A and B are shown apart, each in its own frame.
Chain A
Amino acid sequence: MSVAALPLPQPRDGVLRRISDVLVRHPRLLLALLLLPPMLWIGVVYVGSLLALLAQSFFSIDEFTGLIDRRFTLKTYAELLQRSNLDIIVRTVTMAAAVTITCAAIAFPISYYAARYARGRVKALFYIAVTLPLWSSYLVRVYSWKLILAKEGILNWAVGQLHLAWLLDLVLSLPVVGGPSLSISYIGTYLVFCYLWIPYMILPTQAALERVPRSLIEASADLGGGPARTFRSVIFPLALPGIVAGSIFTFSLTLGDYIAPTIVGTSSLFIGQAVYTHQGTAGNIPLAAAFSVVPIAIMGIYLTIAKRMGAFDAL
Chain B
Amino acid sequence: MAPPRSTRIASGAMVLQSRRDSIEEPGRTFLDATAMTEPSHATAIRFEGVSRRFGEVVAVDNVSFAVGAGEFFSMLGPSGSGKTTCLRLIAGFEQPDSGHIEIFGETVEGVPAYRRAVNTVFQDYALFPHMSVIDNVAYGLMVRGIPAKARRQAAREMLEVVKLSGMENRRPGQLSGGQRQRVALARALVVKPKVLLLDEPLGALDLKLREQMQVELKALQREVGISFVYVTHDQGEALSMSDRVAVFNHGKVVQIAEPVELYERPRTRFVADFVGGANILEPHIASSLGIPPALYALRPEKVSVFADGKQPPGDWLSLKGTVADIQYQGAIRRVHARAGETPITAAVAGGDAGLEAGALVTLAFPPSALHRMEEQ
Chain A positions near chain B (C-beta within 8 angstroms): 213, 215-216, 218-226, 229, 233-234, 237-238, 310, 313-314
Across the interface, do B128 and A224 meet the contact criterion of CB distance under 8 Å? no
Across the interface, do A221 and B113 meet the contact criterion of CB distance under 8 Å? yes
Across the interface, do B119 and A215 meet the contact criterion of CB distance under 8 Å? no
Across the interface, do B122 and A215 meet the contact criterion of CB distance under 8 Å? yes
Interface range on chain B: under 10, 10 to 19, 20 to 34, or 35 or more?
20 to 34
Query: What are 18 A-B pairs at a CB distance below 8 A?
Result: A213-B126, A215-B122, A215-B124, A219-B120, A219-B122, A219-B187, A220-B128, A222-B91, A222-B114, A223-B191, A224-B114, A224-B144, A225-B114, A233-B128, A233-B142, A237-B130, A238-B130, A314-B130
Across the interface, do A225 and B122 meet the contact criterion of CB distance under 8 Å? no
Q: Which residues of B contact A220 (CB under 8 A)?
A: 114, 128, 139, 143
The listed residue (A222, A237, A238) touching B120 by CB distance below 8 A is A222
The smallest beta-carbon distance between A273 and chain B, in angstroms, is: 41
Which 5 A-B pairs have CB atoms at the shortest separation, nearest pair first?
A223-B140, A215-B126, A219-B126, A221-B113, A314-B130
The smallest beta-carbon distance between A224 and chain B, in angstroms, is: 5
Given contacts A216-B128, A237-B130, contact A223 B143 (CB under 8 A): yes
Inter-chain CA distance A216–B122, complex, in Å, is: 9
Residue of A nearest to B119 (CB): A222
**B97-121, CB under 8 A of A: which get 1 and which 0?**
0000000000000001111001110
The answer, yes or no, to whether B292 is at the interface (CB within 8 Å) is no
Across the interface, do A224 and B126 meet the contact criterion of CB distance under 8 Å? no
Residue of A nearest to B135 (CB): A233
Chain B positions near chain A (C-beta within 8 angstroms): 8, 91-93, 112-115, 118-120, 122-124, 126-130, 139-140, 142-144, 187-188, 191
Given contacts A234-B128, A314-B129, contact A221 B114 (CB under 8 A): yes
The listed residue (B118, B124, B143) touching A225 by CB distance below 8 A is B143
Known pairs A219-B187, A224-B115, A237-B130 / 18 extra A-B pairs, C-beta < 8 Å: A213-B124, A215-B122, A215-B124, A216-B128, A218-B93, A218-B126, A219-B122, A219-B126, A220-B114, A220-B143, A221-B92, A221-B114, A222-B93, A222-B114, A223-B114, A224-B144, A224-B191, A225-B114
Q: Which residues of B contact A225 (CB under 8 A)?
A: 114, 139, 143
The smallest beta-carbon distance between B24 and chain A, in angstroms, is: 27
Inter-chain CA distance A90–B160, complex, in Å, is: 54
Q: Which residues of B contact A310 (CB under 8 A)?
A: 130
Residue of A nearest to B112 (CB): A221
Inter-chain CA distance A193–B127, complex, in Å, is: 39
Q: Which residues of B contact A223 (CB under 8 A)?
A: 114, 119, 139-140, 143, 187-188, 191
The smallest beta-carbon distance between A213 and chain B, in angstroms, is: 7
Inter-chain CA distance A233–B140, complex, in Å, is: 12
Q: Which residues of B contact A226 (CB under 8 A)?
A: 112, 114
Residue of B nearest to A215 (CB): B126
